[in-house]
Amino acid sequence: MIFTDATFFIFLAAIFGGYWLLQDKEERLTLLLVASAIFYGWWDWRFLGLIGSVILVSWAVAKFAATRAPGDRDRRFALIGGIVFNLSVIAVFKYFGFFADSARTMLAGVGLDPGWTALNILLPVGISFYVFQAISYMVDVARGDMAPEHRLRRVALYIAFFPQLVAGPIVRAASFFPQMEREKTLSSALFFAGLRAFVLGFAYKAGIADNLAQFVDPIYGDALVAGDTQLSDWSNLALIGATLAFAGLIYFDFAGYSLMAIGVARWFGFYIPKNFDFPYSSPSIEDFWRRWHISLSSWLRDYVYIPLGGNRGGKRQTYRNLMATMLLGGLWHGAAWTFVAWGALHGAALIFQKAVFRSDIALRFGLGLIATQLFVLLTWVPFRAESFSDMVTIWSAFAGLREGGSMGLSLWVWMVIPLIALDAMLGRGALKRLKSVKLLRRPTLYWGSLGVLSGILLALYPLEATPFVYFQF
């Protein structure tokens, strides 16, 4: 069930109507939990047992840990056991084939034939997101940062809340649990706040990202994997254009989903934090990670980087912790060495910035913006490429070091540049200046513009809804 699919709108209308017709808070929460189970089971009902086990173990571990004193050995062992269980779920379903293939390749390299074939395990949608939420809940309780929730239903709703279940944002328990206790009323302000976020997210996803896919898929997608075309068939400009299109696609697709999730949650009276803050306006790689996938970067900071020691042990330890965190962040995105390479490149860039620039001051001008965005663009290549060989080929196209083929892309691919530039301008203050224009505050102009935007979206909307990019993570 995809947010841009007609089935979802029918589902959402039914749940929205039932939710606000109910007056009792507990009945509303129960309805949301049932809706979340239906939503997740729609993908593959067999995985309801998997997410159920994650919920049950996380609830039990947090509840047990809270009964032991801080520093108690049983409390620490319970937390370790809960984390190991949750990470094992990801390891089996997401990384088993990756590690098995890697081990087989290593053994073959020294002349040994392991004689096994990797299992083709189906990846449960959203597994990396809800497992990280479950881990953060257990850790927060074990640290004493929050009290445990004894009611299993509330823990289940926190982990399985359908608006952000399959692709985030990753929500912290300390912000979500109090919202379940508040009395909620439907108001025009609440409804239109959700509508604005949802429509903008829909525009990002259906109007921009889905249309950019037609330029990305022939070069980075299934056609290349199936052997219908080869990278050598495409011109250098085509490879550069497809990479630019992917930079736009992954941003508008993922930011679009996050905005739609925020809007849907708002319709039920819940606040979900923003996940993107105009990352292509960043003048430094450190600033980029403050703006890109904010819920993941803050999760990695709080539950990986700081526990490893953060910046408390001197330069060498700080650099080590940064690299370890970014390597994990790369591996979180996908079970392939190209994702690890992507994380390593960003880790190296963060280390370089800390070693060379003491602050962002030297990077706040145009040079910093250009260098940062060029680096981000080039590192999208290993993120999306199917192999290191493809990665080198595409980088060679950027450097002009390969003899390109004859196939090219439509000139429309270059429209991604003004789209990204416009978004970056909004991130650098243009949005605040637009809000200050009195003409734009007129209701007739506002709703007229919204109507025009809706018409454009319907015209641009592909005949078939396409899955969100981050569903695979």
Active-site annotation, residues: 333
The encoded tokens of residue 387 equal: 């192999």
**Closest C-alpha among 297, 336, 345 to residue 132:** 297
Which amino acid, residue 325? T
The encoded tokens of residue 72 equal: 């108690």
DSSP 8-state symbol, 336: S
Q: Say how far apart CA 85 and CA 410 lie, in whole Å.
A: 49
The encoded tokens of residue 106 equal: 């290593």
Residue 234 β-bridge partners: 407
User: Count of alpha carbons within 13 Å of 133, Cβ hemisphere only?
Assistant: 29
Give Cα separations from 325 to 88, 139, 399 (angstroms): 19, 17, 30
SS3 of 39-73: the string is HHHHHCHHHHHHHHHHHHHHHHHHHHHCCCCCCCH
Q: Say how far apart CA 49 and CA 45 lie, in whole Å.
A: 8
Residue 407 β-bridge partners: 234
